[in-house]
Amino acid sequence: MNLKNAVALVTGGSAGIGYSIAKTLADSGAKVAITGRDKSRLEAAAKELGVLGIQADVSKEADVERTYSEVLGKFGDLDILVNNAGVGVFKPLVEMELARFKAVFDTNVTGAMLMGREAAKIFVKRNRGNIINIASTAALRGAANGTAYYGSKFALRGMTECWRAELRKYNIRVMLAATAGFPQKATEGKLRGDEIAHAVKAMLEMDDRGFTVEVAVFATNPAD
């Protein structure tokens, strides 16, 4: 697709990978909206990027519905949803608190579903659209202490496949980006947000005749 003047919505876009994706899309000529929970950080990011900032929690249905209302009110359309908002908790199974487990799934799974559902309503009517779910290499394998975060990313990957099966007949591209970018301590061997954003941009810019079902981006450094 041609990103110039395309309308994109990036959740969790006020920092990290989401910020980099929003910047890359805006630099490519897209009209971009970002969401975030922290008002001050969101406002600062939106100003820096020159994009629409919407304070919202993707796990709250009312916030999700308001987000789409604001995007459509500002831009009148939507071409791209990037489901990027995510949180992580890493604990041994025997120490996992129910509240923290649920909080991870509320954002990483339920939030992605709510955002995807509302985007799909728009895209089905238009008979075109793009959804990119930002997972993690945690969606490709299990690991100790990964019950909440890894489990949520496996669930996101599964939902992606379900949505693809439902929505392909409406000319909607549903894609997964499994990236080794969050949450990790920054080192010289780790990927940066800009590198992940580059992969997302490439997925979107493929001609609409086809699409990248799933891309996994690892750092060349083999250490976890």
Does residue 222 fall inside a structural domain?
A: no
**Distance (Å, whole) CA 159 – CA 92:** 25
**Distance (Å, whole) CA 114 – CA 112:** 6
Q: Which of 209, 201, 191 is nearest to 22 (CA)?
A: 201
pTM value is: 0.93
Beta carbons of 134 and 177 less than 8 angstroms apart: yes
- Is the N-terminal amide bond of 92 cis, ω within 30° of 0? no
**Distance (Å, whole) CA 82 – CA 224:** 25
Query: Which of these is catalytic: 68, 149, 150, 170?
Result: 149
> Which domain CATH number covers 26?
3.40.50.720
Does residue 149 carry a catalytic annotation?
Answer: yes
C-alpha 174: how far from chain center:
12
Please give the tally of structural domains in the chain.
1
Does residue 155 fall inside a structural domain?
A: yes
Domain hosting 168: range is 7-217
Does residue 90 fall inside a structural domain?
A: yes
Does residue 223 fall inside a structural domain?
A: no
Confidence (pLDDT) at 188: 61
Tens-digit pLDDT profile for the chain (224 aa)? 999 999 999 999 999 999 999 999 999 999 999 999 999 999 999 999 999 999 999 999 999 999 999 999 999 999 999 999 999 999 999 999 999 999 999 999 999 999 999 999 999 999 999 999 999 888 888 999 999 999 999 999 999 999 999 999 999 999 999 887 544 555 565 667 888 899 999 999 999 888 999 988 877 666 65
Please give the order of strands across the beta sheet that includes 52-55.
Answer: 52-55, 31-36, 7-10, 80-83, 129-134, 172-179, 214-217
